[in-house]
Amino acid sequence: MPSTVIGYARTSTLDQTYGLAAQIRDLRAAGCEKIFEEQLSSVDKQRPELLKALDYAREGDVFVVTKLDRLARSMADLIKLQDTLETKGVTLKILNLNIDTGTPTGKLMMNLLGSIAEFERDIMLERQREGIAKAKDDGKYKGRAPTAQRQAEDVKRLKAEGKTAEQIMVELNISRSSVFRILRAA
């Protein structure tokens, strides 16, 4: 079976019709025979057309996007999507970056992007740990108090008023185990 060039176009809102039309135009110019399109934010948990496009892709196909941010919401998301495509034997083309994972240079560029993203994340986490340590030393960081524990006095008061654990759960919107944990500690 001959390979298919698959395009994926996405805009964040329904108002961006010109942006979507421009992506579709560029995908057609790149030789896309099948184009999946959607208009929703990439922060939405599910992108149904992206999932359909990934499901549609077969070994030897080429998956094309106009820009990296149209495909992935983060570098971690990009690496996950790239792994999915690679496992299926599908190459990825990102038009504005001139990246084609079907070539050695394209694979190198994707690996570099992934490595840089991982490096940036490690640096960010290190800075975060340093900031927390400094805040703790300065007495400004106590950590987040457990949500149910903030209501411990209310739990004890409601129990003293004769309420059942179930009634306390409903009234304070906390779990049964949290209610009993607080009462055991009292």
Q: What is the pLDDT of residues 33-53, one digit of tens each?
A: 999 999 886 565 688 999 999
Q: What would the CATH number be for the domain defined by 148-185?
A: 1.10.10
The contacts of residue 5 (CB under 8 Å, 6+ apart) are 30, 31, 32, 33, 34, 61, 62, 64
Q: Which two tokens stand for residue 134?
A: 């400094």
Q: What pLDDT does residue 115 have?
A: 81
Distance between CA atoms of 143 and 157, rounded to whole angstroms?
26
Q: What pLDDT does residue 14 have?
A: 66
CATH class held by domain 5-115:
alpha beta
The segments of the chain whose pLDDT lies below 50 read: none
Residues of the chain with CATH 1.10.10: 148-185
CB 161 within 8 A of CB 172: no
Distance between CA atoms of 73 and 47, rounded to whole angstroms?
11
Distance between CA atoms of 51 and 133, rounded to whole angstroms?
42
Catalytic residues: 12
Q: What pLDDT does residue 119 have?
A: 84
Q: What pLDDT does residue 22 have?
A: 93
* Sole residue written with tokens 């994972």: 101
pTM of model > 0.85: no
CB 71 within 8 A of CB 98: no
